[in-house]
Structure 1
Amino acid sequence: MDNELAVDVTGVTKRYGDLVAVDDVSLRVGQGEVYGVLGPNGAGKTTLLRMLFGLLHPNAGSIRIFGRTWTEAGVSVLDGVGGFIESPRFYPYLTGRQNLEGLALLDGAAPSGRIAEVLGVVDLVGREDDKVGGYSYGMRQRLGVAASLLRDPRLLVLDEPANGLDPGGIRDMRALVKRLAGSGLTVLLSSHHMDEVEEICDNVTIMSHGSVAFHGTIADLRAMAPDPGHLLSTDDDGQALRLAHERHPGVHVRRGQEGAGLTVTGQPAALSAYVADLVRAGIGLRQLTPTRTPLEALFFMLTDTETDTQGDAA
């Protein structure tokens, strides 16, 4: 394998009138790595991937895929690239196999046996001759990955592949991406779920309002993660709050939303001392649970968001 980057995005900007959807974004994806583009709704993730596929043209900056640009190579820049933007679409009245056969013909026909091979990769063997209209959402997502693999790509680009899936579907999709990455395929995926990126990716770019909020490895991200905070419920929240203010400056305790329980933040040692003092004071603990993982807390801090919702407006 040579040292040429799979994806080299430099200073890319995309404007829609006064709206800057992507603002001077750069990222570099090495061959063989799993790279995550993470961000809340409207962060610019999908817009960036659309420019990668040539569906949109940047107002500034450059995009190279395996060393080629759209200006230099035209559509052949996508040789060796597969993937989908947003949810893949299929003819519901055709079977999974028939949909793949049609896509293969449009792309110049797949080698003999390739359709059966990719159906096996995405665990759709046994359902390939069922009409897609009867597929679950997760099965259609996996069929989208199968379609992306028809051309035996070197780079697989997936836009929110687990979005909208139930917990079982999310687990299956993550396992599939990990298997594909283990085969040496380069994977670039977008997500608005920190746990998905943490589990799958080697490196990550976090976007917020069209700009880059973080570049680096998952290890770098973990090193930056703050204390996530805990939800605390006692049989006397008022007394627990007073005890914190009077004797534990190392923890910050406040009322929860709509007065439900308390939210506690602080370093682990300070939190442990506070909880021990609650017990000594005879205050009964009913609940002490993390509000979110440390990486989730960092994600919300970097992107200035407090809730995580579905879809991506940009």
Structure 2
Amino acid sequence: MTTDLAVDAVGLTKRFGSLVAVDDISVQVAPGEVYGVLGPNGAGKTTFLRMLFGLIRPDAGTIRVFGRSWEKHGIATLDGVAGFIESPKFYPYLTGRQNLKGLALLDGGDARGRLEEVLEIVDLTQRADDKVGGYSYGMRQRLGVAASLLRDPRLLVLDEPANGLDPAGIRDMRALVKRLAGSGLTVLLSSHHMDEVEEICDNVTIMRRGEVAFHGTIADLRSMAPDPGYALATTDDPRAVALAGAHPAVTVVRGEGGLTVTGPQAAVSAYVGTLVAAGVGLLSFTPTRTPLEALFFMLTDEGVAA
């Protein structure tokens, strides 16, 4: 007995006039996994999700959701699927609870019976009777997740759920997605931030200008990542550069803003130890980009081949 993929998209292409928004991409999401679709703005992520939800039709390729397709099953393709494209919208003059009640009435089934449960899942129980107009952006995003969970979905689709959030909001959204994934729910999310998905996704597709720049696991991605870089300020930069000669695996470049150090983490640590032993004072030692962030920009940069 075979288990249908949660999402099985093959050869998808979508054009808007002369613009090819999505160019022959394939994405397979297994039940129970957290899958990330990454890319800069304009990479084609939202267009892909719109095709998944049936909001637009692909010019070529097929999409199956738990074995169902729009061509054969119509709206039933979305049975067991919930989520939002871009930012969720609510009536600002109604409370969070009232908005959810209205959506539950429209959805039917046992959605009304899940209202208190979903409010608790997204940590909005204490603010459920406040008007949505007074919610922060992060609270509205979490209310959007609550509205999606009313359907008790098997697949939750989130389009850049942390976009526009402050650091605390990003932390809360990341923790929420982790909890949902831990419950066995399949999650497909898009993002343009590598660190947003690094800790929670099993597999990722990185898009650039509508094409696939990378397809694979987070572990595969880490194996491709370049050495980490650090901004280094010392009390004696010329001597710090000279001492790097004893560490061939480390590269130290002197610029207007100070020193930039790159190399394997163990080699960089040994180099820093040499500086300390030599009496060179360290004023600051700051990561520039994480290795995965650096790789993300390499893969999606307009001047780099996919």
Report SS of the residue matched to 2:13: strand
Match of 1:291 among 285, 288, 291: 288
Choose 192-201 or 88-97, whichever is displaced more: 192-201
CA distance in 1, matches of 2:120, 2:270: 54
Choose 3-12 or 203-212, whichever is displaced more: 203-212
Change in Cα spacing, 1:272 to 1:105, as seen in structure 2 (3 Å) is closer
CA distance in 2, matches of 1:279, 1:105: 67
Q: Cα deviation per residue 1:261-308 (whole Å; 9 max; x = unaligned)?
A: 1212123454345445545665432222221222222222222279xx
Counterpart residue identity of residue 76, structure 2: S
CA distance in 1, matches of 2:285, 2:271: 12
CA distance in 1, matches of 2:265, 2:200: 27
Report SS of the residue matched to 2:58: coil
**How many angstroms does 1:223 deviate by?**
1.9
**How many angstroms does 1:173 deviate by?**
1.3
The match for 1:125 is: 125
Change in Cα spacing, 1:117 to 1:276, as seen in structure 2 (3 Å) is closer
What is the Cα-based RMSD across aligned positions, in Å? 2.2
Change in Cα spacing, 1:31 to 1:280, as seen in structure 2 (3 Å) is closer
What is the aligned-residue identity percentage? 76
Structure 1: tracts of 5 or more residues without a match: 307-314
CA distance in 2, matches of 1:13, 1:23: 5
CA distance in 1, matches of 2:113, 2:277: 70
CA distance in 2, matches of 1:266, 1:303: 22
The match for 2:268 is: 271
The match for 1:57 is: 57
Counterpart residue identity of residue 18, structure 1: S
Structure 2: tracts of 5 or more residues without a match: none
The match for 2:148 is: 148
Question: TM-score, with normalisation over the residues of structure 2?
Answer: 0.91
Counterpart residue identity of residue 250, structure 1: A
Q: How does 1:60-209 map to 2 (within 5 A)?
A: 60-108=60-108, 110-209=110-209
CA distance in 1, matches of 2:128, 2:270: 58
The match for 1:311 is: none
Report SS of the residue matched to 1:48: helix
Change in Cα spacing, 1:177 to 1:279, as seen in structure 2 (3 Å) is closer
Q: How does 1:253-264 map to 2 (within 5 A)?
A: 253-256=252-255, 259-264=256-261
CA distance in 1, matches of 2:112, 2:193: 38
The answer on whether the counterparts of 2:228 and 2:265 sit within 8 Å (CA) in structure 1 is no
Higher relative contact order (CA 8 A, sep 6+): 1
Question: TM-score, with normalisation over the residues of structure 1?
Answer: 0.88
The match for 1:38 is: 38
Change in Cα spacing, 1:237 to 1:148, as seen in structure 2 (3 Å) is same
The match for 1:19 is: 19
Q: How many residues in Structure 1 have an aligned counterpart in Structure 2?
A: 303
CA distance in 2, matches of 1:89, 1:216: 33
